[in-house]
Amino acid sequence: MLKRRLSVLTAMLATLAACLLTPLTASSAVAAPSGCPKIIWQNGEKTVSYENCGGGSQEESDNGGGEGSGNGTPSCDLSAMAGQGNTRWCEGTTTCWAHIPSSVYKTQAEAPEQPPPSEDAVYIFKWCVSADGESSYDWMWYTPDEISLEELAWQAYGRLTIPAFTLEFNPPQKAVIFIDTWWWASGTSDEVLTGSSAAGLVAIADPDRMEVDPGDGSGVMSCPFSTTKSDACAYTYERASDGYPARARLVYTVRFENNGAPLEVPGLPGAIESEWQEVTVPVTEVQASVVG
């Protein structure tokens, strides 16, 4: 048995050396697969689901699939692990592959050095190649379908709810050229928003600004986060119209907390916006008469 394992290990290391232009360096800092892909075991066959790999998800199984087929586009070059089977995924721009479970161990011992963290854990060999060709590899315990902080953060982000509002303007009913028109989001507030918890991880949205498009072709302008009638957000029309298609939306910056502690997760969005709210704004001229 030991002789067979050593033979397999020798063959694997030979393959690694042939594929890499730079020497491999072992690193215990390589994290276990998480977030992408999600590896699912069912009836003794594994399926790899590529989630958050950049532009959607892809799925492939042991029966084929190469680089996957689907609507998403991986954020890394999966061809860097061509010929290594289907268990490939992206961690940002880094391409990773794992032998699950590993056919050889890190040492010549018949069992891993550390006991499994759970009864579902399997001992794997993980190999990663960065976008600039730097390689790293390690052996580790891995629990299939383990939910990562990144996955939890995405769940928490999806639980944020932006309150509805109505776009108001003043002068009411009809604006006047060369006179400031005020804008505000009616029916909402400038309170901080907190989504529901995802296993202790929450997304928090802080009010940042209001974006207003007056509808006259001038483009979108950025205003203070305005929820009450004031001149904080103002625009002056220069041409009259039966009705400009004005619109506005609210923008929040997003941060995350894990059990009350600040958490930074690379790759997650730093903002969230409401839907655009529209209103038709008639703009008129003020007629002046000169009395002689």
Cα–Cα distance, 153 to 90 (Å, whole number): 18
- DSSP characters over the chain: -HHHHHHHHHHHHHHHHHH-SS--EE-TTPPPP-SSPEEEEETTEEEEEE-SSSSS-EEEETTEEEEEEES---SS-GGGGTTS-S-EEEETTEEEEEESS-SS-SSSSSS-SS--SSTT-EEEEEEEE-TTS-EEEEEEEE-TTPPPHHHHHHHHHHT--PPP-EEEEESSS-EETTSEEEEEEET---PPEEPPPBTTEEEEEEEEEEEEE-SSSS--EEE----SSSSSSEEE--S-EEEEEEEEEEEEEEEEEETTEEE--TTS-SEEEPPPEEEEEEEEPPP-----
pTM recorded for the entire structure:
0.53
| CATH 2.60.40.10 domain range(s) in the chain | 152-284
Q: How many other C-beta atoms lie within 10 A of the C-beta of residue 78?
A: 21
CA dihedral defined by 259, 263, 268, 271, rounded to 10 degrees?
A: 90
pLDDT of residue 107: 62
pLDDT of residue 288: 56
Cα–Cα distance, 236 to 234 (Å, whole number): 7
Cα–Cα distance, 228 to 168 (Å, whole number): 9
pLDDT of residue 135: 87
Q: Which amino acid is at 31?
A: A
Give the residue among 175, 269, 265, 161 at the shortest CA–CA distance from 215. 175
Please give the chain's pLDDT, 292 residues, in tens: 433 433 433 334 333 333 332 333 333 333 334 434 444 433 334 444 443 333 333 333 333 333 333 334 678 887 777 766 556 778 888 888 887 777 766 665 555 667 777 777 778 888 888 988 888 888 887 776 657 888 888 888 988 999 999 999 999 989 999 999 999 999 999 999 999 998 889 999 999 999 999 999 999 999 999 999 999 999 999 999 999 999 999 999 999 999 899 998 888 889 999 999 999 999 999 765 555 5
Pick the CATH number of 152-284 from 3.50.50.60, 2.60.40.10, 2.120.10.30, 3.40.50.11540: 2.60.40.10
Interior angle at CA 76, CA 46 and CA 140, nearest 5:
50
Cα–Cα distance, 58 to 52 (Å, whole number): 10
